[in-house]
Amino acid sequence: MEKSDTEVSKLIIAVVQSQDSDMVEMTLDQVKIPYVKLPSTGGFLLEKNTTFLVACDYKRECNVMELLGATAKKRVSYVAATMDSTPFPIIVPAETMVGGVTIFTLDVEHFEEY
């Protein structure tokens, strides 16, 4: 086994909306940060998401988190909501915030690359 030159001390798990994933991917590629991209679904709107597993050293952790926050923006979306106080249900649009990025950081105790 060859020893890797890459120092990995942090694993950043970033969940973004699928419409932001191409931009996040392009940004991570530009700064040459290794990542794995996984499709996922969740949230209260059951929207399609993308989960990025980003490996970095502790020196680049803040930089990666800033890049993710700047790339995946929050925005307003509208969902159908019903008004229950009327004799019959009326559907009205309700404003909600979507997008952005949810970030988890984990310490990496051991890393091997084959």
Closest by Cα among 92, 102, 108 to 8: 108
Q: What is the pLDDT of residue 1?
A: 37
Domain membership flag for residue 72:
yes
Domain membership flag for residue 43:
yes
Domain membership flag for residue 3:
no
Domain membership flag for residue 102:
yes
Report d(CA 6, CA 42) in Å as an integer: 32
Instruction: Name the domain count of the chain.
Output: 1
Q: What is the pLDDT of residue 86?
A: 73
Domain membership flag for residue 95:
yes
| pTM exceeds 0.85 | no
Burial of 41 (0-12, 13-18, 19+ CB in 10 A): exposed
Domain that holds residue 49: 10-107
Spatial strand order of the sheet with 47-56 comes to 35-42, 47-56, 10-17, 101-107
- Block mean pLDDT (10 aa), the chain, length 114: 65 91 93 91 75 91 92 82 77 81 92 78
Q: What is the pLDDT of residue 104?
A: 96
For residue 39, what is the domain's CATH number? 3.30.70.120
